[in-house]
Structure 1
Amino acid sequence: MPLVTTAELFTRARNRGQGLPAFNVLHLETIEAIAAGAERTGTGVVLQISQNCVRYHGGLAPLAAASRAVAESSSAPLSLHLDHAEDLDLVREALDLGFSSVMYDGATLDYPENVARTVTAVSAAHAVGAIVEAELGEIGGKDGAHAPGVRTDPAEAARFAADTGVDALAVAVGSSHAMLERTAELDTDLIAAIAAAVPVPLVLHGSSGVPDASIQAGIRSGMVKVNISTQLNKMFTAGVRERLGAQPDLVDSRKYLGAGRDRLADEVARLVDVLTMVTTA
């Protein structure tokens, strides 16, 4: 089916009291696996391409075209989102390529500069009917993200949303990027306080390090979009290792990459169920 917009998926998730699954793309096999997992559940998900991924491939357009092609041949409703962009030129390129949502990440900037740059991104996106996610309260390394100083303050979050006009806000509430073990615990009281103070949907980054039950508790407390990348990478790599371990003489990369793709699709379907079998009602 044609790409749906991330705004549509946000609305659907909020109306149902569910989480919105958002999965990071690394390469074509990832896109195919995410689409396959989403098709099994019949649930809409967000395909995310990060600035780091763009850097790896040397450009945004080829992977964006592949994502669109897979989405348009899929029976699942999929949207296309730019993740963690610190470069406003990349934001503009994504909008030109038809992305329905972008994340401008100014979390490491001081407050006035983060606001100014986010406003620029919001203006560009809204001009073409797209939406913007921003970040307040750095979601950084494993240790730093658990320190009180990097948690998002509800009052500052409300001020930031009002000052920028963002459509979604990523907040620091106990998760951390690139965790290999699922041991982080979300501060559900903080999530509830931010959700009460901020009119736009909240986004959880670093979800791979959070146990399923804690993610579900976060959704019940007011979290909406849930970003997942490292957990998918773990499953893809496990599938590749298992195939190569069983058949060490393999040289046809399709055979072991296909095993990784299948394992990733299984995990996508499982995670979609985890995130959408929650109701806040």
Structure 2
Amino acid sequence: MSLVSSTPLLVEARKQGYGIVAFNVHTLEMLQAVVDAAAESRSPLILQTTVGTVKHLGIDYIVGAAQAAAKQASVPIALHLDHCQDFDLILQCMRAGYTSVMIDQSMHPFERNVEMTRKVVEVARALNVNVEAELGKVGGVEDDIRVEDGMETLADPEECRRFVELTGVPTLAPAIGTAHGIYKGEPNIDFARIEEIAGKVAVPLVLHGGSGIPEGQVRRCVSLGMAKMNVATELKNAFSLSLQESFTANPAELDPRSYMAAAKKVVKRMALEKMQLCGCTGKA
């Protein structure tokens, strides 16, 4: 099987009332672990890379690894570029084989966001690539994008309706009170806002800042129309802490295959838990 566009996967997820988990991966081992979890649980999967990871690993290496995984796995897999502000980089990724991209212009006025999103949608439509855009400002840090505490802006439901109508964007990430990174306290999610946006917007909605949201709140978000949940920091931290533990327990171990194997198990276990939580197991 080849990499697929995430658009039909997410449309079906919203229609059926479950969520697909999108995992940010930074190494081959992380990618392999979440793919193994998807294959084992029969879950559709979205692999994500940040702009920083694209610069670190290289587009062709990432696409090559994702394509190899898609050929071996018997579940649908999409490859998504997360939070990109650079139109040229988006074009490079689409041409190289990414099947989903996020144009993030949420820091700009509504009109500029509409203009840039529409521009990406026009190109992506011809290539059968999904497009995601954001309205409002999700707090926290995502690579070089930082929204300080108190500067978050929740998405306006009527603006969401207009935005989708004006751009034709097939997936929308509205800011509803979540944040990138690990929460210092209980997330302040505006469930009424999600419900109102979902009532005005037919396209699948995306939940950013999925790391550490209490299980009950995740399930409620999914039930209200969030068809995709991003998990980044939680997965990265679990992978890195496993490596630290391996070095602490066995400081003389110098074979990367040993400590990477342990980290892969940790990532796979977390991926399985998140897929179960969002209800996408058995949906491939």
The answer to whether TM tops 0.5 is yes
Deviation at 1:148, TM superposition (A): 8.4
Deviation at 1:56, TM superposition (A): 2.4
- Contact 2:137–2:152 at 8 Å: present in 1 too? no
Change (3 A) 1:88 1:148: closer
Partner of 1:64: 63
Output the amino acid matched with 2:158.
Answer: A
Aligned match of 1:123:
122
Secondary structure class of the residue paired with 2:128: coil
TM-score of the aligned structures, taking structure 1 as reference length: 0.92
Matched, 1:156 2:159: yes
Is contact 1:6–1:100 with CA below 8 Å preserved after alignment?
A: yes
> Using the alignment, how far apart are the partners of 1:2 and 1:85 within structure 2?
24
Q: Which amino acid aligns with 1:188?
A: F
Q: Which amino acid aligns with 1:41?
A: S
5+ residue gaps, structure 2, are: none
Q: 1:208 aligns with which of 206, 211, 222?
A: 211
For 2:44 and 2:239, the matched residues in 1 are separated by 21
Whether contact under 8 Å (1:232, 1:264) holds in the other structure is: yes
| Alpha-carbon distance in 2 for matches of 1:246, 1:183 | 33
| TM-score of the two chains, using structure 2 as the length reference | 0.91
DSSP 3-state at the match of 1:48: strand
CA contact (8 A) 1:27 1:63 kept: no
Q: Give the alignment of 1:1-281 within 5 angstroms.
A: 1-57=1-57, 59-141=58-140, 147=150, 150-179=153-182, 183-276=186-279
Is this contact kept in 2: 1:186–1:210, CA < 8 A? no
What letter matches 1:51 in structure 2? Answer: V
**Secondary structure at 2:140 match in 1:** coil
* Partner Cα separation in structure 1 for residue 152 and residue 47 of structure 2: 31
Query: Aligned partners of 1:165, 1:217: CA distance in 2, in Å?
Result: 27
1:73: Cα distance to partner? 1.2
Question: 1:182 and 1:79 mapped to 2: Cα distance?
Answer: 32
Change (3 A) 1:50 1:148: closer
How well do the aligned residues superpose, as a CA RMSD in angstroms? 2.0
- Could you give the per-residue CA deviations for residues 19-52 of structure 1, whole angstroms, max 9, x where no partner exists? 1111112111111011011112111110112212
Q: Which residue type is aligned with residue 138 of structure 1?
A: K
d(CA) in 1 for partners of 2:241 and 2:258?
Answer: 14
Greater relative contact order, per chain length (Cα 8 Å cut-off, separation 6+): 2
Q: Hey, what's the Cα distance between the residues in 1 that align with 2:152 and 2:177?
A: 11
Residues 133-171 of structure 1 deviation map (CA, whole Å, 9 limit, x = unaligned)? 101101132896875860111011111111111001111
Deviation at 1:5, TM superposition (A): 2.4
Rounded to whole Å, the distance in 2 between the matches of 1:239 and 1:255 is 11
Identity %: 34
Q: Secondary structure at the match of 1:214?
A: helix
Classify the secondary structure of the residue corresponding to 2:91: helix
Displacement, 1:224?
1.1
Distance 1:185-1:209 versus aligned 2 partners, 3 A rule: farther
**Equivalent pair of 1:182/1:211 in contact (CA under 8 Å):** no
- Greater alpha carbon shift after TM alignment, 121-130 vs 93-102: 93-102
Instruction: Give 1:31's aligned amino acid.
Output: L
CA distance 1:196–1:146, shift in 2 (3 Å): farther
Number of residue pairs matched?
277
Whichever residue aligns with residue 119 of structure 1, its letter is R
Deviations 1:187-213 (A, max 9, x none): 111100111111211101111031121
- 1:219-253 Cα offsets, whole Å, 9 max, x none, are 11221111111111122123222222221211112
Q: Measure the CA separation in 2 of the matches of 1:16 and 1:112.
A: 33
TM-superposed deviation, 1:172: 0.7
